[in-house]
């Protein structure tokens, strides 16, 4: 349903389009702003974010599944003109309070036929009304997690009855299988708590293939990319490898483990492979510069390319991209947020100096 990939125009073109509020691009792409959690049409007059804070999506569904809320000014959900009044009313109510649940009974009470609602949402937004409500709750929940709220409290305040209900909803959204796979194998995904916030971990039956911070905006599209890479569906679950990973991570954060043992798989281009393999060789608690990394992969001067590839690492912490810093000793970038990079480096260095 929503997994059909629509391709996006080149980034420079999209940037130009939204800066000029070019209505010609409406419907071609949507821009989402990381700092506000809102997504817009390119023509929106209310939004002129810095390019580094923008994420692009081909459809409203993808924007929503990535945890963004529709802009109140340009109303990107109204893709085909204004929705009928009864739909607008529902959207408005959810927008005002994403934690409410509008059930079929509620709809009946308002003399709106649930089947009609179902059909409209399916047709126009590519998802059921219930899913739409859930994604809005989840978007709100992810927002809170991003701002450092406790997971339990978050689940509760966002209209989930329990922590397990929150987890289930999380898994339903982020662990969806993109289609039937003839292959018996699949990627199992599990959420883990850690001192640096909830982590999403994934493994095939053979190796760990993904570890990312749960609050990253692009998580859903990352998981979809993962599924595409391996040609396997991602489903919520557990296996022995994820269990081993959980134990090793617990040891790592407790300062009892320096070298992860669990099997990893990280398919990529030959260049990506080379970069990621070099990352694996950087010892615990040590850092190298992007320039040094470029040298080590045999491409001196290619700092930018190795920096980009470093950022494309799908297995955070275990493939220690956090151990690459700027030449001047500053931290440089980190997809999971600089505070996490600092946390990980401080953690490793503290333990290293305690034992030497």
Catalytic residues: 321
C-beta of 48 vs 350, nearer to Zn ion: 48
C-beta of 75 vs 118, nearer to Zn ion: 75
Residue with CB nearest Zn ion?
71
Q: How far is the CB of 230 from Zn ion (least distance, A)?
A: 36
Residues near Zn ion (CB under 5 A):
40, 44, 46-47, 71, 73-74
C-beta of 73 vs 110, nearer to Zn ion: 73
Q: How far is the CB of 278 from Zn ion (least distance, A)?
A: 42
C-beta of 48 vs 238, nearer to Zn ion: 48
| Closest C-alpha among 303, 245, 306 to residue 276 | 306
Token couple for 347: 């953690």
Q: How far is the CB of 282 from Zn ion (least distance, A)?
A: 43
Q: How far is the CB of 73 from Zn ion (least distance, A)?
A: 4
C-beta of 71 vs 90, nearer to Zn ion: 71
Q: How far is the CB of 47 from Zn ion (least distance, A)?
A: 5
């Amino acid at each position: 349903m929503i997994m059909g990939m629509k391709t996006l125009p080149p980034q420079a073109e999209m940037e130009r389009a939204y800066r000029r509020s070019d209505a010609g691009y409406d419907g071609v792409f949507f821009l989402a702003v990381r700092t506000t959690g809102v997504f817009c049409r390119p023509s929106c007059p209310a939004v002129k974010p810095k390019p580094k804070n923008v994420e692009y999506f081909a459809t409203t569904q993808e924007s929503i599944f990535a945890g963004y809320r529709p802009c109140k000014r340009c109303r990107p959900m109204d893709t085909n003109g204004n929705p009928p009044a009864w739909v607008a009313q529902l959207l408005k109510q959810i927008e005002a309070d994403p934690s409410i649940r509008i059930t079929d009974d509620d709809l009946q009470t308002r003399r709106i036929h649930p089947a009609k609602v179902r059909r409209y949402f399916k047709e126009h937004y590519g998802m059921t009304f219930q899913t739409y409500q859930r994604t809005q709750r989840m978007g709100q929940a992810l927002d809170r997690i991003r701002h450092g709220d406790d997971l339990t409290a978050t689940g509760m305040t966002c209209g989930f009855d329990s922590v397990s209900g929150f987890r289930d909803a999380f898994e339903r959204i982020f662990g969806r299988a993109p289609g039937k796979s003839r292959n018996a194998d699949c990627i199992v995904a599990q959420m883990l708590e850690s001192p640096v916030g909830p982590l999403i971990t994934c493994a095939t039956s053979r190796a760990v293939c993904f570890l990312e911070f749960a609050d990253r905006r692009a998580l859903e599209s990352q998981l979809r990319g993962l599924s595409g890479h391996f040609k396997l569906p991602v489903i919520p679950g557990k296996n022995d490898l994820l269990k081993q990973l959980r134990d090793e991570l617990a040891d790592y954060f407790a300062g009892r483990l320096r070298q992860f043992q669990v099997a990893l798989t990280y398919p990529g281009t030959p260049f990506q492979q080379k970069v990621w393999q070099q990352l694996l060789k950087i010892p615990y608690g040590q850092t190298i510069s992007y320039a040094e990394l470029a040298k080590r992969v045999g491409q001196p001067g290619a700092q930018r390319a190795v920096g980009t590839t470093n950022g494309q690492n799908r297995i955070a912490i275990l493939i220690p991209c956090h151990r690459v810093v700027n030449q001047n000793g500053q931290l440089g970038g980190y997809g999971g947020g600089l505070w996490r990079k600092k946390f990980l480096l401080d953690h490793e260095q503290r333990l290293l100096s305690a034992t030497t």
